[in-house]
Every structure is written in structure tokens, then in C-alpha cells.
């Protein structure tokens, strides 16, 4: 079983991004089953107006039709890092991670929990996702041929309690599609991903945006696949492209068996004793 992460330099035009993704999908390894992840903002990476223009109701629209068609035609499990989806009776959107199986059926959807409202010392400076998006309020773990996939998006990575909850729900692979800024990525991307892999003894699949984008945005790239011991299986530091690595179920089982941290965790017992 093979894990694949696509690294993109997406922009504000869905047709242009569609062409970029199509070109990378043509380079997929032939092995099946194949789990392919696109980064955050893979469909559109632009200002509020560009995002609103591309946004679709969940389950309805030409963009989602295209995503489903890719999964079906290529016979892959496709995780779309994020795309904007509409919320009924609201001018806000969700940043939604969508999962399609090899038949092109959408089997899961996760709305980003933690919105990136921060100030960064880069060319863009001020980030306020809450101006456009509304946070989700549910976790999502989905069964697949590769194991249980725990879904997350980018800024979620800074909240370890989310990943512990995903592991508690049986996650084997943590999905972390992202558009980390160059400044924060250089400082924290790798150590945070390794921590989530090690703490939860899960594979981590992290497809990233890379390079210069409109509005002065700069993204870090360095798409990664990590094993449950936190070791790097594959990395693409710069440029568009893809990385792949084999999923080793024996490796996952061995790490969890030799150091059973999930069974040793006692914090909930402490809380119960104090009630």
C-alpha cells in the first residue's frame, strides 16, 4: 500500500490549479491501492473574492465532480486537503477536507476546527481566516484500506489534543494537508509533525503548498511522510511535485506493541478520581 503527497503552488484560478493537479496525477506510481493527498487550498488559493467564487455547497458542484472523477478514473483514494464549501444561510464558508474512495464516492468530510488568525513577520503579515471561514465542530476518522484516517488541516497541527482524540478514535494515519507560511514552516513544521507522529504512534501524511502566492503569501513546502516512530519516509523541500512511501503495517503494529503509550495514558483516570 502506497501513500502519496502532492506539493502545489496553487493560485486563485481553479482551472489553472486543475491543470497543475492533473499534471502531477499523471506521475502517480502504478501500484494500487494508493492513498493520495492534496494540500490545503488545493482548489483555490487567493483572496476572499476568489475563494467565494469557487466555493460550492457540499456535495454539489463541478469542482467536486472533477475531484470524484479523478478518484474514480485513477482508482485511488483521494484526500483533498481543503476546498471552500458553502454554509446554508451564512456568508461564511467552511474550509473542508474531502475524502473520495476509488469509486469516486465521497466517504468523509472534515471542516477545519482551528482558524489561522495570527500575525506573521512575512510579506503578507496579517492572517484572518475567520473573516471568510467558520470553524467546524466535529472530529472525523474514516475507515479505508490503509487503516483509519484521522483528518485535520494545517493550523490544527498546533493543537495536540486534537490528534490524541483522533488516535483515541482509532486513527492509524494522521492527515495534515497544509499551507504553512515560510516563516512558521521553517521554525515549526518538521518538529510539530514529528511530535504528532511520535505522540500518537501514527503515520503522518502532510502535503503542502510551496513558493510565492498572490498577496505576498509565501509557503514553506517540505511535504512529508513520517512513520509512527517519527522517522522521515519521504520529503520534498521545494518545488511542485510528489512524494511517496510504502505503508508498513508491521512497523505500525511493532511500534505500538513495544511502547503501548495509548494503554499507559492515565490523565483521564486522574480527572475521574478528582470528580
State yes or no: is 274 an active-site residue. Answer: no
Domains defined for the chain, CATH in brackets: 2-274 (3.60.110.10)
What is the tens place of the pLDDT at every residue in 146-168? 999 999 999 999 999 999 999 99
State yes or no: is 112 an active-site residue. Answer: yes
How far apart CA 257 and CA 259 sit, in angstroms, is 6
Residue 115 has pLDDT above 80, yes or no: yes
State yes or no: is 186 an active-site residue. Answer: no
- At residue 142 the predicted structure's pLDDT band, cuts being 50, 70 and 90, is very high
Q: Is the peptide bond between 33 and the residue preceding it cis, with omega within 30 degrees of 0?
A: yes
Residue 169 makes CB contacts below 8 A (sequence gap 6+) with: 139, 141, 148, 150
What is the tens place of the pLDDT at every residue in 194-228? 999 999 999 999 999 999 987 778 999 999 999 99
Out of 97, 109, 140, 154, the active site residue is: 154
Provide the pLDDT for residue 216: 78
Out of 2, 40, 102, 129, the active site residue is: 40
Burial 40-49 (b: 16+ CB within 10 A, else e): bbbbbbbeee
Residue in this structure with the C-alpha cell 476546527, named with its chain if needed: 113
Out of 102, 112, 233, 240, the active site residue is: 112
pTM: 0.96
Provide the pLDDT for residue 119: 87
Q: Helix 14-25 vs helix 62-74: angle between axes, to the nearest 10 degrees? A: 0
Beta bridge partner(s), residue 212? 218
Least confident among 124-133, 208-217, 263-272: 263-272
Three-state secondary structure call for residue 168: helix
User: What is the CA angle 106-198-100, rounded to 5?
Assistant: 5
How far apart CA 114 and CA 220 sit, in angstroms, is 19
Amino acid at each position: 500500500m502506497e501513500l502519496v503527497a502532492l506539493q502545489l503552488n496553487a493560485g486563485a484560478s481553479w482551472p489553472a490549479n486543475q491543470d497543475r493537479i492533473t499534471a502531477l496525477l499523471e506521475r502517480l506510481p502504478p501500484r494500487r491501492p494508493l492513498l493520495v493527498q492534496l494540500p490545503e487550498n488545493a482548489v483555490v488559493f487567493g483572496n476572499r473574492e476568489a475563494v467565494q467564487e469557487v466555493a460550492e455547497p457540499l456535495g454539489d458542484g463541478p469542482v467536486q465532480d472533477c475531484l470524484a472523477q479523478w478518484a474514480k478514473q485513477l482508482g485511488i483514494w483521494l484526500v483533498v486537503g481543503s476546498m471552500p464549501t458553502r454554509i446554508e444561510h451564512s456568508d461564511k464558508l467552511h474550509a473542508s477536507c474531502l475524502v473520495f474512495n476509488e469509486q469516486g464516492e465521497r466517504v468523509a468530510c472534515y471542516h477545519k476546527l482551528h482558524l489561522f488568525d495570527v500575525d506573521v513577520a512575512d510579506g503578507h503579515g496579517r492572517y484572518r481566516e475567520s473573516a471568510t471561514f467558520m470553524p467546524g465542530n466535529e472530529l472525523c476518522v474514516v475507515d479505508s484500506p490503509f487503516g483509519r484516517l484521522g483528518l485535520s488541516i494545517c493550523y490544527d497541527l498546533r493543537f495536540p489534543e486534537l490528534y490524541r482524540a483522533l488516535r483515541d478514535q482509532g486513527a492509524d494515519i494522521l492527515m495534515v494537508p497544509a499551507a504553512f507560511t515560510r516563516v512558521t514552516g521553517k521554525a515549526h513544521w518538521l518538529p510539530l509533525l514529528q511530535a504528532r507522529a511520535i505522540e500518537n504512534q501514527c503515520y503522518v501524511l502532510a502535503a503542502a503548498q510551496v513558493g510565492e502566492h498572490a498577496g505576498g503569501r509565501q509557503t514553506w513546502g517540505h511535504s512529508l511522510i513520517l512513520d509512527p516512530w517519527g522517522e522521515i519516509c519521504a520529503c520534498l523541500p521545494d518545488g511542485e511535485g510528489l512524494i511517496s512511501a510504502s505503508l508498513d503495517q508491521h512497523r505500525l503494529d511493532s511500534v505500538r506493541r513495544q511502547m503501548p503509550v495509548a494503554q499507559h495514558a492515565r490523565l483521564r483516570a486522574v480527572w475521574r478520581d478528582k470528580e
